[in-house]
């Protein structure tokens, strides 16, 4: 990707974070679960922003790889907050925490350049399944369809890359739609 595209990737991470904070502050029925989603999203932001800014300014792939592992680890950590917000269950969240610890351990153990993209996508996908499934089990099947549909749309753009180097930026922006629906689901 070009430096401008990486800068756009960094800036586009503001959309989900800003949406969370606005929703938490101004939604009439915002609750501790929506605030939990806000905290999880905010925790991930600095690592993602740093990774994309670093990639826009440097060609040092070794350092970028370390920052990428931190970024992905923060996705896993954020998923723990998401699991609690959507399940409202401490025991379920602890189960998700165990998976998250394993996923981070596995990620850190990978040596060399080029974190295997399919393994990474699969383990992040498991996190998404773990924190979205409770929405359906708690009876909110309509909102679950919106959550899954918006995530599938964003993921399709990320995987297929219809906008070339700009697809990652579009993915981040589409994650704001996913973020909105998951905030709504946690708010019920």
Helix axes 167-186, 61-87, angle to 10 degrees: 20
Mean pLDDT of 48-72: 92
Express each pLDDT in 121-178 by its tens digit.
788 999 999 999 999 999 999 999 999 999 999 999 999 999 999 999 999 999 999 9
Q: What is the pLDDT of residue 38?
A: 96
Q: Say how many CA atoms lie within 13 Å of 127 toward its Cβ.
A: 25
Rounded to two decimals, the pTM is 0.93
Q: Is the dihedral angle over the CA atoms 156, 162, 164, 166 positive or is it negative?
A: negative
The C-alpha atoms of residue 177 and residue 130 are separated, in whole angstroms, by 19
What tens digit of pLDDT does each residue of 79-94 get? 999 999 999 999 999 9
Among 11-15, 95-99, 116-120, 136-140, the range scoring the smallest mean pLDDT is 116-120
* 165 neighbors 123 (Cβ within 8 angstroms): no
The residue extents of the domains of the chain are 3-186
């Amino acid at each position: 990707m070009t430096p401008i595209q990486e800068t756009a990737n960094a800036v586009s991470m503001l959309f989900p974070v800003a949406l969370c904070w606005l929703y938490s502050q101004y939604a009439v029925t915002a609750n501790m679960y929506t605030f939990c989603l806000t905290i999880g999203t905010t925790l991930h932001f600095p690592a993602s922003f740093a990774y994309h800014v670093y990639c826009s300014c440097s060609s040092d792939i070794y350092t970028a790889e370390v920052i990428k592992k931190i970024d992905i680890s923060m996705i896993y950590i954020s998923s723990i907050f998401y699991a609690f917000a959507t399940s409202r269950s401490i025991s379920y969240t602890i189960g998700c925490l165990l998976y998250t610890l394993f996923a981070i351990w596995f990620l850190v153990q990978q040596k060399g350049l080029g974190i295997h993209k399919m393994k990474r996508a699969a383990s992040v996908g498991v996190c998404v399944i773990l924190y979205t499934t409770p929405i359906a089990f708690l009876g909110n099947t309509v909102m679950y369809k919106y959550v899954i549909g918006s995530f599938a749309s964003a993921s399709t753009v990320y995987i297929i890359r219809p906008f070339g180097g700009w697809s990652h930026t579009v993915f981040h922006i589409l994650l704001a739609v996913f973020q909105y629906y998951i905030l709504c689901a946690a708010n019920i």
